[in-house]
Amino acid sequence: MTGEQFMFVQAIDAFKRANGKSFPTWTDVLEVIRRLGYRKTMPSELQLGSKVEDWTERANSPTGLDQAEDAA
């Protein structure tokens, strides 16, 4: 397991303990990923079809998860 994978597994485990969840939703997983510092800074390498619009954001973009953070 790489360091990145280990950190992700630990972050998911911490999220589950803090929120009393055995099975986080995909929305929860995305929250953990963004709180780890990941941002969508590159175009997608996946072909997701015409139903999904691709975008990018600045590396220092806020997570969009906390109202206080968004106001700053």
For 30-48, what is each residue's pLDDT tens digit?
999 999 999 999 999 999 9
Do the domain assignments include residue 20? Answer: yes
Do the domain assignments include residue 6? Answer: yes
Do the domain assignments include residue 56? Answer: no
Do the domain assignments include residue 51? Answer: no
Those residues of the chain that have pLDDT short of 70 are 67-72
Do the domain assignments include residue 72? Answer: yes
Read off the DSSP letter of residue 22.
S
Distance in angstroms (rounded) separating the CA atoms of residues 45 and 17: 33
Do the domain assignments include residue 46? Answer: no
Do the domain assignments include residue 49? Answer: no
Predicted pLDDT at 56? 97
Could you give the number of structural domains in the chain? 1
Amino acid (one-letter) located at 17: R
Domain span at residue 70 reads 1-40+64-72
- Percent pLDDT > 90 in the chain is 90
Predicted pLDDT at 27? 96
Do the domain assignments include residue 47? Answer: no
Distance in angstroms (rounded) separating the CA atoms of residues 1 and 54: 30
